[in-house]
Copies of this chain bind each other. A is one copy, B any other.
């Protein structure tokens, strides 16, 4: 937790995908202060015509490098979320030359009882987490 789903346009090499996922995870660890093993990522690659992303008039230009992060997380405060947006964007630019214009994030929150990380248990309820 958090669980991070990532949508991109096809065309990256396996190395780039690995670097993208590693870098995104680093940002999560840095912004949310979770352990390095708190990593739950699922990427989906799309044909170019399957993703249509505009900007609500913000003047943000998108490219084929666009990356959408859809995150499910327990409640976290606005400061931490803002730190995540910043860190994600900075790190993806530094490591993968992804432009800040191409990073979008949407977070949805749930509660402890909404998670089972395996073994049929709700680890936030049983006290293991």
- The complex places the Cα of A105 from the Cα of B118 at a distance, in Å, of 8
Q: Which of B34, B40, B53, B82 contacts A122 (CB 8 A)?
A: B82
Q: Does A26 contact B (CB under 8 A)?
A: no
B90 touches A117 (CB 8 A): no
Closest to A101 in B: B118
Residues of A within 8 Å of B, CB-based: how many?
70
A109: min CB distance to chain B, Å? 7
- The complex places the Cα of A92 from the Cα of B38 at a distance, in Å, of 24
What string of 1s and 0s marks CB contacts (under 8 Å) between A76-114 and chain B? 001001100111111000000000111111111110011
B100 touches A58 (CB 8 A): no
Q: Which residues of B contact A70 (CB under 8 A)?
A: 3, 5, 72
Could you name 30 residue pairs across A and B whose Cβ atoms are closer than 8 Å? A14-B49, A17-B50, A25-B52, A37-B56, A40-B104, A41-B53, A42-B46, A42-B50, A42-B51, A43-B51, A45-B50, A56-B117, A58-B118, A58-B128, A72-B106, A81-B113, A82-B121, A82-B122, A82-B125, A85-B120, A89-B116, A89-B120, A100-B119, A102-B118, A104-B116, A104-B118, A105-B116, A106-B114, A106-B115, A107-B110
